[in-house]
Structure 1
Amino acid sequence: MVGTTLLLGQTALAEDNVSVLMKQRLADMAGKEGTVITVDYAPGAASDLHFHPGSVFAYVLEGAVISQLEGGEPMTYRKGQSWYESPKIPHVVSKNASKTEPAKLLVFLLSQESESLVMPMKSPGSAK
């Protein structure tokens, strides 16, 4: 892992369930970088309320995950499915859909260089 706590924020995603696979400056987009991570959810596990300053592309590698962005409905994504999250939209639900099986995401994040990828929140709507 590459400085997971600093990179991903202090509380939104637990350090032990996130692995940074790659981080790269984008040559054709000044000041931007791409980061690839995996997020492992134990059975019944969930992330705290958070938002991402940049764009997010998520793909389910294993199991099923329930995701809900502020203003939207909870969606269940299963192995092989993916979704996009616009920057700064609060992620009000992000959890393993199963209480007995693990789940794993492959996540591509686009951000400003050296910017935290995940920002914890105390309440929905505080990201804007």
Structure 2
Amino acid sequence: MRMALFSLVATVMALGASPAIAQEREQVKLVFEHALPNVEGKRMDAVLVSYPPGSKSLPHRHAASAFIYAYVLSGAIRSQVGNDPTQVYHAGEGFYETPGAHHRISENASDTEPASLLAVFVVDSKDGALTIPDKDATPK
């Protein structure tokens, strides 16, 4: 499993994890999805999240069953999950979210450099959307 994750990170980095176009929102690309053969009813999904300079995600939750490990590929990501303090994670660092966690802040910590992360989800196979924006979150 560990080698598969390292291979996935290398593949994502080769795809180009730092888009140069300016925009306010993150770009999300599904890069891997597979049923877990040794855990019935579960699958693993991986998404590449690219943040142009100054961009951010809307506050959100993930699929109710989702356990997530996020690994910063480039730049720096500012994150706040639940009521934990806001933290900045740099390339090579990672963090996790437990099922039902509220991701209040997820944004590029820089206004001048792009940032990206690989988020690996372990979810129930029947779950649909991986990310659900807060109902009161309005795009700006």
Report the TM range for the smaller structure's normalisation.
0.7 to 0.9
Q: Percent identity?
A: 34
Following superposition, the deviation at residue 15 of structure 1 comes to: 9.1
TM superposition score normalised by structure 1: 0.81
| Contact 2:42-2:122 at 8 Å conserved across structures | yes
Partner in structure 1 of residue 130 of structure 2: 117
In the other structure, the counterpart of 2:20 is none
Q: Deviations over 1:21-58 (max 9, x none)?
A: 11000111111100011100010100001011200000
Structure with more contact order per residue of length (Cα contacts < 8 Å, sep ≥ 6)? 1
- Which digits, 9 at most, give the CA deviation of each residue in 1:75-101, with x for residues without a partner? 000010001110111000000000000
| Structure 1 equivalent of residue 98 of structure 2 | 86
After TM superposition, the runs of 4+ consecutive aligned structure 1 residues lying more than 4 A away are none
Distance of 1:29 and 1:15 partners within structure 2: 34
Shift of 1:123: 5.1
Structure 2 residue 39 is the aligned partner of structure 1 residue 29: yes
> Pairwise mapping of residues 3-42 of structure 1 onto structure 2 (< 5 A)?
17-42=27-52
Letter in 2 for 1:46: K
Distance 1:16 1:46, change over 3 A: closer
Task: Give the alignment's Cα RMSD to 1 decimal.
Answer: 1.9
Q: Secondary structure at the match of 1:99?
A: coil
Gaps of at least 5 residues in structure 2 are: 1-23
Choose 1 or 2 for highest CA Rg. Answer: 2
Deviations 1:50-81 (Å, cap 9, x if unpaired)? Answer: 01120000000000000001111100000100
Matched positions, count: 111
In structure 2, what is the Cα distance between the partners aligned to 1:16 and 1:100? Answer: 15
